[in-house]
Structure 1
Amino acid sequence: MSPANATQERVLGFLKQYPPFNLIPEEELRQLAEQVRVQVLEPEQVLFRQGDTPHSQFYVVRQGSVRLEQGPEHAQRLVDICDEGDVFGARALIAKKDYSSTATAAEETLVYGVPVALFDPILHQSPEVALYFAAGFAAGAPRQQGSMQETKEARRLHHHSTQPLHLEDILPLPTHHNQVTCAAHTSIRLAAQIMSDKNSSFMLVVDEQEHPVGILTDSDLRKRVVAGHLSVDDAVTEVMSAPVVTIAPNPRLAEALLLMMRHRVKHLCVTTDGSGKTPVEGVLTEHHLLLAQGNNPAVIVQEIRQTPNVENLPSIRNRAEELLQKYLEQDVSIAFVANVMTEINDALVVRALQHAEKVLGEPPLRYCWLSIGSEGREEQLLRTDQDNALVFEDTHTGKEQEAQAYFVELARLVNEVLAKCGFEKCPANMMAGNPRWCQPLQVWKGYFHDWILEPTEEALLNASIFFDYRPVYGEFSLAEQLTAYIYRYIQQEHIFLPYLAKHALQSPPPLSFFRNFVVERGGEHKDRFDIKLRAMAPLVDAARVLALENRMTGENNTFKRFAKLATLEPQNASLYKEAALAYEIMMRHRALSGLQNHDSGRYINPAQLSKLERQTLRNTFRPISDVQELLQVRFQLNYLG
């Protein structure tokens, strides 16, 4: 082989390891490699300067590193550092403008110059290659509006997975041929006969306009009629379940699954507009969904709810982990995955509480179990440690201590069940089994009053944990009363939100030397990147502050908070949407890392990430600084002592 051919083979072998070149058919890439120019740069040698006319080629670092700097020559600002496999100098390819930065070799560096004239046709013919540049993966490339959406789409397209589950697909079910209805005055006997004749597990009860008013199922007949509570000659209205859970025609599989899980039903009534005010078009049953999807999360939830022995819960919950793995590998929407895992985890908590009540006897007072932390935000994809609390109603009978003793023991039983299911106990003891976090409503109001009135560092830390509470079981009105009190008091104490915003800025954007992740310098996780503390927490904290400022109740989830903020503050909609998408991508990265390493996924080894994965994560860090700058300006934190 001639030296020239050997060089071309080395260039080809290198390029096909890295995006976007690994997306190009090998024959086209070989022709491109033949024209690549190899260039050696001495330390501090300038390849091009800010304002220069673009070269006829863009560059790829083969070995070494290149600094990209902007600003006047005497006060240049470092904007990026390119290492092996990074693409830079692509403005000639994309923006057709002069260079916006100066490229200088940080050490002895070998770069490949890729001819723009040869690459331009590839860029226009390959959507995947175009998306790579649109997503902002090329160093120093012009940042484009909606780049986080492009990043998400690029990650999806370049992600190699098996056949997807198509949870976002429309359910192809012949609902018009699945109508079994009767009028409200129909007898139970006649309705049961019609169900038997049509081999149907249900009967929809409709009014004169064919609007649904109730549903009669096999289960209703067994529980209320066969058991002897009603006569077969009574009207179906005496035994039917109402109101009916309705859905619009042609729903997505994901939407139907979540409705069934949340409402604990096996039938969804399809109406003209999805409400109970329009005519019935058919019924979707759990059987339809089982046929559409192999491993149905609704079945897991049902098994958790119905198992007679809590000793069975760990093995059932293990199956949910297998489901999570499949969803992530097949690139299912993170929003859907988070909803599914939340429903499963909530079912687990409820079953554990029912078990504890059976062991201890009837609760002495009404109470509400609160999930806090990531589970409170509906973001606990992996089985990380527990974070929960309990609030019970105030009593003035002198039996407060007796009631608290019951609820503390109840909570401890629940904490034990959850621990057996793989949810470790919180190292900081932020659990309902800790008497401090198992209190009557008045005490909880006092906690939040003190945290808001005197925002010390400890108070702000507690507030950042407990403000994300979500009622899971019991008397939800207790949580609603607490929420109303908190928002009313925050409006009175104007100093609290600025201090909470300042607390949210404690973690700076997680790139130290631009192209290198900030990693732990020592200890058990040395050289690992803490994605929870350094990347996710800043967005979680910012979303919480902004949600409180906007009096946004009933929404704890971080990316849903940002999505809602985008509608409340149209002037900042673009930034909030970027932040929401960035957080979703981080959640996926953490979950995949946790499943791969059999841990919480919190500490990621950057060396194990592919070039595209590192670029994707770096892109998600960009909205952090923008959101933090917004907090800085809005709450005038420069003037806060």
Structure 2
Amino acid sequence: MKTASIAYRVADFLRRHPPFQYLDESELLELVAGGRVLFHEDGELVFERGQKRRPYVYVIQQGVVRLVDYDESGAKEVLRDVRGEGDLLGVGRYLGIVEHTYTARTETEVILYALPAAPLWEQIKRHPRASHYLAAYFTVAIAPPGLEGDSIRSDELRLGRRPVDWMAKPVDEPPSAVTCGLETPVRDVAARLADQPPGAAAVVIDAEGTARGLISTRVLSDRVASGELPLDAPAVQLMAPVLDTLRVGLPAGAYLTRMLELQVEHLVLTNDGSRLGKVCSVLARRDLTRIEAAAPLAIVEDMARAGGIYELSRLLAQGQTFIAGGLTDAESLRWLAPMATALYAAVLRRVVVLVEGALLAEGHAIPDLKHCWVFFGSAGRGELTTLYDLDHGLIYDEPEPDQRRAARSYFLELGRRVSSALAACGFVSTAKGIVSGHPSACRSINEWEIGFSHWIHDPIESCVYRATSFFDLRPVHGDCTLVNRLQQHIHREKDHSMGFVPLLVADSMANLPPLTFFRGLVIDDNGRYTETLDLQRATLQPVVDLARALALDAGIDHPVGTLERLQALTPDDQDAVLLVNETIAAFRNALFYRTRAGLSRHCDGNLVEPSTLTRLEQNLLKSGFRTVLQLMEYMGKRYGATRRR
């Protein structure tokens, strides 16, 4: 690189590829001035595993380089990556690794630009986008110190235009709680609420100061002003139960999503988040609805009053538009995924009410049996963000022997009509979908228990790998005690079948992620090429299956979400903690790309063409592939399972 013309030509090449496209021209010329041009014939070594690194980072200007490792015997090569024009080699030095981890061998004639590593490092740290891109060469969650690892909300990552940054910020000074005792007369409660904003509520506390109930201005109006209760009635007769308490100082999104899940207008905040904690404040829906991103609260409320399927479908479309508008990056799914789950649950609840009303009008009386509507699969885990395969079913209490046929007939008809109504609202069920109109997803509690016992004790004969979605239960509408009973049954049966969890782990090893991307194609570890990436098979499904197995083994039945299951684990050592964090980041990243593809193309989003992904996005997904393989290796050692394709 002696002449100015060569220097400008090299700089012109570099600025077409990240991370160099984010650097200034003067910085590029400085790098080029300290670099070299290297030429390699086909089949030559660029560097070998274990060789001490030279003070350069290599950029492939032309040709193909394979990165290989060796198996445990050291005799057989294992392909680790394939890199081509614009890709980097030798960046592992920035993790402090002084020797090369893999062997780099040319597959064609190759021209490399060897750039001085130290100046490049300093330049990249000064540019957040360059820093973020280089960080993607390592893992989704962990990057060398000094690099910007946070996602950059840019046009190359954004589907929507309305970021939900406010959700990550704490609510400023939530209003102090208005409190009263269990025996406080209703007239005194009304007086204390008189000078509060519309929609306020008082917390009813016991002698120990524990929150026991809530009294809202709406309840005062409905039950006292109407004369149903006298003014001297004690507060305990008027209060509604406190369904949950949260800690003061949480992000606004945590309060919003909990309100959506519980369908409540008020949350009691305590100093430590527990029900026994000191009551600090009451957060009302109105405190959040002034924020633009709180629209789902209003949509869910409108859904609860929808008069028909057409109105529900219109509200569901509004909800999907909101989800798409807030989809800025993987982190936004932390809030958007539970919002989507709450919207879908609201649709199901209203559909059930409408269909039950129609059946009653036709003369079909509802059996006097406890029953509960549930989500399974991705909806049960709170990970469904498109309208494809809303897996749902029904659990009803065991009827008397002479009522079994009639009860089954009614609930199956109810399930069929609910499934049809959901389809009319816009949900799409594929051949693999679970719907309440099918006998396999509409059963009495005894039938469900028998089914789960069969899956657990005879997993091979019962083909449990086809039924694992049923293990992701989320109650949506009705009597939740049925779901609690079923979950307890599952864990009892699992404890009596010690081989069940290892078999689940072994089954999950069949979905190996691919190896890398190259020239718009997906490459597996055997060097085979495919034109599309299946995000579900490559990253999401293996993590879902392994997290489910770990949760069952640990006796965790709540939460049901994959990320929450991973976060609820207690890893054995620091390496396992790091692996869990990387897995969470890889999973959320893959879910983001699936959601983006699904919402923009009106499909389930599982299949993505690599050519439509930026270089940064490909590197982030590749990091996720490596993380999934590491998780499989960890699980394989723990449960004696072997990876297989």
What residue is the counterpart of 1:314 in the other structure?
313
User: Does the 8 A contact of 2:243 with 2:262 survive in 1?
Assistant: no
How many Å apart are 1:470 and its aligned residue? Answer: 2.2
User: Does the 8 A contact of 2:512 with 2:643 survive in 1?
Assistant: no
User: Does the 8 A contact of 2:56 with 2:116 survive in 1?
Assistant: yes
* Equivalent residue letter for 1:104: R
* Equivalent residue letter for 1:255: A
User: Does the 8 A contact of 2:326 with 2:336 survive in 1?
Assistant: yes
* Equivalent residue letter for 1:285: A
What residue is the counterpart of 1:254 in the other structure?
253
Distance 1:469 1:284, change over 3 A: closer
* Equivalent residue letter for 1:172: D
Give the match's secondary structure for 2:82. Answer: strand
Number of positions where the alignment pairs a residue of Structure 1 with one of Structure 2: 627
Give the match's secondary structure for 2:421. Answer: helix
How many Å apart are 1:461 and its aligned residue? Answer: 2.6
Give the whole-Å Cα distance in 1 for the aligned partners of 2:443 and 2:319. 32
State how 1:365-376 maps to structure 2 within 5 Å: 365-376=369-380
State how 1:363-402 maps to structure 2 within 5 Å: 363-364=366-367, 365-402=369-406
What residue is the counterpart of 1:437 in the other structure?
441
What residue is the counterpart of 2:149 in the other structure?
153
Cα offsets for 1:383-403 (capped at 9, x unmatched): 112322222221233121111
Give the whole-Å Cα distance in 1 for the aligned partners of 2:140 and 2:341. 34
Give the whole-Å Cα distance in 2 for the aligned partners of 1:403 and 1:634. 46
* Equivalent residue letter for 1:116: A
Give the match's secondary structure for 2:267. Answer: strand
Structure 1 residue ranges without an equivalent (≥5): 138-142, 520-524
How many Å apart are 1:182 and its aligned residue? Answer: 5.1
Distance 1:486 1:42, change over 3 A: same
Give the whole-Å Cα distance in 2 for the aligned partners of 1:517 and 1:534. 11
Give the match's secondary structure for 1:166. Answer: helix
What residue is the counterpart of 1:82 in the other structure?
83
Give the whole-Å Cα distance in 2 for the aligned partners of 1:4 and 1:149. 36
User: Does the 8 A contact of 2:58 with 2:89 survive in 1?
Assistant: yes
Larger RCO (alpha carbons 8 Å, 6+ apart)? 2
Give the match's secondary structure for 1:260. Answer: helix
What residue is the counterpart of 2:346 in the other structure?
347
Q: Select which of 475, 479, 495 maps to 1:475.
A: 479
> Is structure 2 residue 222 aligned with structure 1 residue 223?
yes
Give the match's secondary structure for 2:346. Answer: helix
How many Å apart are 1:573 and its aligned residue? Answer: 2.7
What residue is the counterpart of 1:108 in the other structure?
109
User: Does the 8 A contact of 1:12 with 1:29 survive in 2?
Assistant: yes
User: Does the 8 A contact of 2:349 with 2:476 survive in 1?
Assistant: yes
What residue is the counterpart of 1:503 in the other structure?
507
Cα offsets for 1:304-346 (capped at 9, x unmatched): 1122333311111111111211221266442322211111111
What residue is the counterpart of 1:410 in the other structure?
414
Give the whole-Å Cα distance in 2 for the aligned partners of 1:118 and 1:149. 16
How many Å apart are 1:15 and its aligned residue? Answer: 2.2
Cα offsets for 1:19-76 (capped at 9, x unmatched): 3223323432343345443333321233333444433321111222112234599754
Give the whole-Å Cα distance in 2 for the aligned partners of 1:595 and 1:102. 41
User: Does the 8 A contact of 2:494 with 2:500 survive in 1?
Assistant: yes
User: Does the 8 A contact of 2:38 with 2:114 survive in 1?
Assistant: yes
State how 1:160-171 maps to structure 2 within 5 Å: 164-171=164-171
Give the whole-Å Cα distance in 2 for the aligned partners of 1:321 and 1:584. 19
What residue is the counterpart of 1:28 in the other structure?
27
Cα offsets for 1:532-569 (capped at 9, x unmatched): 12321111111222222222212321121122224588
Distance 1:562 1:414, change over 3 A: same
Cα offsets for 1:73-120 (capped at 9, x unmatched): 975443322112211023455536233333222112232221224324
Give the whole-Å Cα distance in 1 for the aligned partners of 2:385 and 2:580. 23
Give the match's secondary structure for 2:168. Answer: coil
Distance 1:93 1:169, change over 3 A: closer
Structure 2 residue ranges without an equivalent (≥5): none
What residue is the counterpart of 1:140 in the other structure?
none
How many Å apart are 1:450 and its aligned residue? Answer: 2.3
| % identical aligned pairs | 27
Cα offsets for 1:256-301 (capped at 9, x unmatched): 2123223322233444444454555443322221223344221121
What residue is the counterpart of 1:202 in the other structure?
200
Distance 1:358 1:84, change over 3 A: same
What residue is the counterpart of 1:172 in the other structure?
172
What residue is the counterpart of 1:600 in the other structure?
604
How many Å apart are 1:129 and its aligned residue? Answer: 4.4
User: Does the 8 A contact of 2:42 with 2:106 survive in 1?
Assistant: yes
Give the whole-Å Cα distance in 2 for the aligned partners of 1:465 and 1:278. 37
* Equivalent residue letter for 1:153: G
Give the whole-Å Cα distance in 2 for the aligned partners of 1:205 and 1:485. 37
Distance 1:571 1:56, change over 3 A: closer
- Which deviates more from structure 2 when the two are superposed, residues 436-445 or residues 559-568? 559-568
- Which deviates more from structure 2 when the two are superposed, residues 466-475 or residues 286-295? 286-295
What residue is the counterpart of 2:57 in the other structure?
58
User: Does the 8 A contact of 1:387 with 1:426 survive in 2?
Assistant: no
* Equivalent residue letter for 2:123: I
Give the whole-Å Cα distance in 1 for the aligned partners of 2:575 and 2:444. 42
How many Å apart are 1:133 and its aligned residue? Answer: 4.2
Give the whole-Å Cα distance in 2 for the aligned partners of 1:212 and 1:446. 40
What residue is the counterpart of 2:18 in the other structure?
19
How many Å apart are 1:423 and its aligned residue? Answer: 1.3
> Is structure 2 residue 357 aligned with structure 1 residue 358?
yes
How many Å apart are 1:372 and its aligned residue? Answer: 1.1
User: Does the 8 A contact of 2:253 with 2:335 survive in 1?
Assistant: yes
What residue is the counterpart of 1:450 in the other structure?
454
What residue is the counterpart of 2:296 in the other structure?
297
